[in-house]
Amino acid sequence: DGGITQSPKYLFRKEGQNVTLSCEQNLNHDAMYWYRQDPGQGLRLIYYSQIVNDFQKGDIAEGYSVSREKKESFPLTVTSAQKNPTAFYLCASSRDSGQAYNEQFFGPGTRLTVL
Amino acid sequence: GIQVEQSPPDLILQEGANSTLRCNFSDSVNNLQWFHQNPWGQLINLFYIPSGTKQNGRLSATTVATERYSLLYISSSQTTDSGVYFCAGFSGSARQLTFGSGTQLTVLP
């Protein structure tokens, strides 16, 4: 069954800790994305990757880091430098990031709460 | 980057009613997507519609790229249609999808 999986579904973190959110896709998509959603708002782009070993900052990259060592995996680390990390995090992928084939599909999300 | 505005922000309907949701964007977009976010947070793809009109069951969408807007029509609404509807425009120059703030739809039985 093709799709995007995210884990964990819920994550609790103490202040000052780094945490890593997992995102895996088996759609053979080149491009992957991380978004953040705050209550009552739309999604904002954190980072995206067009291809393995390449990634670009989005609108709100400060306090986050990513890696793209494999095509199917795009983990997001929320560092202690992120001032307000409590949010819903969504991962997405698309066939590519150009003007064609860029329809994005989303995983089920991870809810991060900082205690 | 582009700005995406959605209206109305909230909409309450009686089951069986029809509705129209609107999405305006500040600049040209290469593609436009409509999503439904269910109560568990999952974003469901509804339409990928850079221009023209598409239909899928009770839902249809129209994008007029030259006038920078898109419309989502929901006919004969059902309680399961409740949730938040987002539109998002893809800017080729920025290579990213920019989301509107969403329309919260509540369909009452």
Residue type, A64: Y
| Residue A101: predicted pLDDT | 67
Query: Which residues have a Cβ under 8 Å from the Cβ of A51 and sit 6 or more positions away?
Result: A30, A31, A68
Which residue among A88, A104, A111 sits closest to B97, beta carbon to beta carbon? A104
A88 lies within 8 A of chain B by CB: yes
The residue of chain A nearest to residue B85, with distances taken between CA atoms, is A42
* CA distance to A86, B87, B109, per residue, from A61 (Å): 15, 22, 42
pLDDT value of residue A1: 60
Q: Which two tokens stand for residue B47?
A: 């339409």
Neighbours of B42 (CB within 10 A): 15
Can you tell me the mean pLDDT for B4-10?
A: 96
**Three-class secondary structure of residue B64 per DSSP:** strand
The tens digit of pLDDT for each residue in B50-83 reads: 999 999 999 999 999 999 999 999 999 999 999 9
Contacts of B66 (CB under 8 A, 6+ apart): none
| pLDDT (tens digit per residue) in B84-101 | 999 999 877 777 889 999
* Burial zone of A34 (CB within 10 Å; 0-12 exposed, 13-18 middle, 19+ buried): buried
The per-residue pLDDT for B62 is: 98
B1–A90 C-beta distance less than 8 A: no
